[in-house]
Amino acid sequence: MSKVAIITDSTAYLPDELVRQYNITVLPLSIIWEGVSYRDGVDIQPEEFYRRLQDCKELPTTSQITAPAMQQAFSTLLDQGNEVLGIFLSAKLSGTFDSAVQARNSLTSGQEKVAVVDSRFTTVAMGLPVLMAARAAQAGESLAACKQLVERASDQTGVLFVVETLEFMRRGGRIGGAAAFLGTALNIKPVLGMRDGQIEALEKVRKKSAAVARLIEIVKDRIGGRSPVRLAASHAYAEAEAAAMLGMASAELNPIETFCRPLSPVIGSHVGPGTVALAYMTGMP
């Protein structure tokens, strides 16, 4: 039986050691900044990006993974004797999933050995289901079983985040349901989330520390005592805040696994510096 190779995009933010351990293929999205194209997390790293962002007058734009790049990656993995499961960020936020569908349909052979999934998330909220699928693949599960698992894992996953300002989301066109908070954006720290693949507005809080505390309360309410729990934090140039948030949430929820990762330029350009996010997954062994 063929092995199942897992492929995802650069916004999954899994720790490098886990990517290596489970042999996960990560394809970078791109940002275009001052006429130069950079591969996300390859040609430009988060720390450099956020330093430059502080002084720039024009925000970078972002670009999906192209269908030809996706097809080449699929073909390479197939040629190595694998079946392929691709798990990508929400189709409502990026055309990357559509590129994956086009790439699979364009394969001259092996289409039946490639499956693609819209995670309906991005950042570490996508990374958690990707990790579950990678572990199942390494354990020898079939392509169909791995696909079913990642879909079930996504159903058991959620993410909430707090931004310093909605301006980056507004300018980047990814504001979604958070547009309801724009009128008071200067006076609040909004608590936001993702539902059905797009941004939703949850609550308005005046101080960031209070917003983070409220975020943890909402996560705890949503988990509702279910177990086991996995938590993952991510941040845009706010590592200490994200680590503290993850520590507070862990003390409340006793997770079996945690990690904290920086947001790469592709996502950071849309949410802005100071953003902290907390993803959770429940009920998955």
CATH class of 157-282: alpha beta
- For residue 218, what pLDDT is reported? 98
User: For the residues 74-95, what does the mean pLDDT come to?
Assistant: 97
Does the pLDDT value for residue 184 go beyond 70? no
CB 241 within 8 A of CB 113: no
**CB within 8 Å of 256: residues ≥ 6 apart:** 228, 229, 230
Does the pLDDT value for residue 220 go beyond 60? yes
276 residue type, one letter: V
**CB within 8 Å of 142: residues ≥ 6 apart:** 1, 4
Q: 211-248 burial, b if ≥16 CB within 10 A, otherwise e?
A: bbebbbebbeeebeeeeebbbbbbbbbbbebbeebbee
The per-residue pLDDT for range 249-269, each reduced to its tens digit, is 999 999 999 999 999 999 998
| Percent share of the chain, pLDDT over 90 | 80
CATH class of 3-29+64-154: alpha beta
Domain locations along the chain: 3-29+64-154, 157-282
- For residue 120, what pLDDT is reported? 97
**CB within 8 Å of 177: residues ≥ 6 apart:** 198, 199, 200, 201
Does the pLDDT value for residue 89 go beyond 70? yes
The per-residue pLDDT for range 130-162, each reduced to its tens digit, is 999 999 999 999 999 999 999 999 999 999 999
In this prediction, residue 170 has a pLDDT band, given cuts at 50, 70 and 90, of confident
CB 67 within 8 A of CB 101: no
Does the pLDDT value for residue 171 go beyond 80? no
- For residue 270, what pLDDT is reported? 86
Lowest mean pLDDT among 35-49, 105-119, 218-232: 35-49
Nearest to 154 by CA among 115, 195, 93: 195
Whether the model clears a pTM of 0.85, i.e. scores above it, the answer is yes
Please, what is the average pLDDT of the chain? 92
- For residue 112, what pLDDT is reported? 97
Does the pLDDT value for residue 51 go beyond 90? no
- For residue 182, what pLDDT is reported? 54
Does the pLDDT value for residue 183 go beyond 60? no
CB atoms within 10 A of CB 16: 9
- For residue 199, what pLDDT is reported? 87
Nearest to 31 by CA among 5, 17, 50, 13: 50
Does the pLDDT value for residue 186 go beyond 60? no
**CB within 8 Å of 171: residues ≥ 6 apart:** 59
Nearest to 8 by CA among 31, 29, 37, 32: 29
CB 28 within 8 A of CB 41: yes
